[in-house]
Amino acid sequence: MDAATAKALLSPRVLALVLTALFPLSMTVIFLTGLWVCGTFALRVARLALQLTVWRGTNLDKYGARKGGWAVVTGASDGLGREFALQLAEKGFNVALVSRTASKLDKVAQEIAALPGEKVSIIQHPIDFAKAGEQEWARLEAALTPLDIGVLVNNAGLNHSAEWSEFIAAPPQECVDIVSVNVAAAVRMARMLLPGMVSRKRGLLLNVASLAGGTAPAPLWATYSGSKAFLITWAQAVATELAAAKSGVDVLVVMPGYVTGGMAKQVETSFHTPNAARWVRCALASIGLSGGALGMDYVSTPFWAHALMDFGLRQFGLQNTFRKSMHGYLSKERERAAKKQ
């Protein structure tokens, strides 16, 4: 191309003609891209709304309710575990209560026995997951494996003793105990009971994680937060294996936010902060649904307020911002609590 031709092509008149020809095309591309983005988001919002209001989860009869099936609940002595035990018994499961304190298990067993309707069988097995040795695990396995277990709720959990504490200030043994209870015990319980479920072609592995592990890590709860993140990725991998094998066993991780009566001692029940009974009711009604955890296979945020927060943080990429703001907020809460002492 000689200099004269190049000069002619770059003249203002030629450039104006080129831009005029390309402008409609570029606007079309921008319009279609915007339409696709907005349409995809609208469909996700619609799906979220339907899951939280209209759609219902898997009927628990599939797992043996009212058919002699058993539900095993770890951490069953109080909080979410107690509610899982009570509500699963109400739905017709025999219940195996597993937790650390025998006296608390006795109380929960009495509550289950006093429920109206058809009576269910109850067994109790106290075990401290943070300290249990091989003999104690063997006794637990001997008690549970002969049962027709349809549901395992891995609910047992341990948090830091100090309400808010930097990782480097946390007692080393406490960090080990958190991993032992939240991670190792969940893995051992599943490894113990899943083979029986697979052989019966029926079962549900329900892991109780946390928004602090699945949506945005919680500073000042570092080891707890990491342990709950493990539950999610581990369960997704196990679920994929079981689904590929057409085992008939379902796996779901449920992620609560703040729930009164649980580990968050400083919160009170409100319209958007449920008590344990309300949250467990939502969780059991949402088996197979993702709630606010759209796009995460085998994971659910069942309660509406937690679901909206989870959905919003993910869709708008705000997890890092939320994590940093939570660190600032919890640090100030810790300072206020220290001044009151």
Model pLDDT for residues 64-78, shown as the tens digit of each residue: 999 999 999 999 999
pLDDT tens readout for residues 171-190:
999 999 999 999 999 999 99
pLDDT exceeds cutoff 80 at 6: no
Neighbours of 23 (CB within 10 A): 10
Token readout for 268 is 């009170």
Cα separation values, 165 from 159, 162, 217, 292, 326, Å:
11, 6, 14, 29, 13
Report, as residue numbers or ranges, the catalytic residues: 224, 228
Window from 201-210, 215-224, 294-303, 325-334 with minimum mean pLDDT? 325-334
Task: Identify whether 325 is part of a domain.
Answer: yes
How many domains in the chain?
A: 1
297 pLDDT exceeds 70? yes
> What's the pLDDT score for residue 180?
98
What digits encode the pLDDT tens for the residues 139-153? Answer: 999 999 999 999 999
Whether 224 is in a domain gets the answer yes
pLDDT at 25: 59
Tell me how far apart the alpha carbons of residues 207 and 223 are, in angstroms, rounded to a whole number.
17
In this prediction, what percent of the chain has a pLDDT beyond 90?
A: 65
264 pLDDT more than 70: no
The answer to whether the CB of 73 falls within 8 A of the CB of 269 is no
CA 11 to chain centre: 62
Please indicate, yes or no, if residue 159 is contained in any of the structural domains: yes
Q: Is residue 128 over pLDDT 70?
A: yes
Q: Tell me, yes or no, whether 52 lies in a domain.
A: no
**Which H or E run contains 26?**
helix 12-53
Whether the pLDDT of residue 131 is over 80: the answer is: yes
Within a domain: 35: no
Residue 23 lies in a domain: no
Q: What local confidence, expressed as pLDDT, does residue 95 receive? A: 99
Residue 218, in any domain of the structure: yes
Is residue 3 assigned to a domain?
no
Q: At residue 4, does pLDDT exceed 70? A: no
- Cα–Cα–Cα angle for 85, 145, 137, rounded to 5 degrees: 85
Range of the domain at 141: 62-340
Residue 207 CA, chain-centre distance (Å), reads: 7
How does pLDDT run across 13-65, given as a tens digit for each residue?
Answer: 655 665 566 566 566 666 667 778 887 888 888 888 898 999 999 999 999 99
Q: What is the mean pLDDT of residues 297-307?
A: 94
Residue 83 to residue 235: CA distance in whole angstroms: 22
Average pLDDT, the chain: 89
Residue 185: CATH number of its domain: 3.40.50.720
Query: How much is the pLDDT for 262?
Result: 64
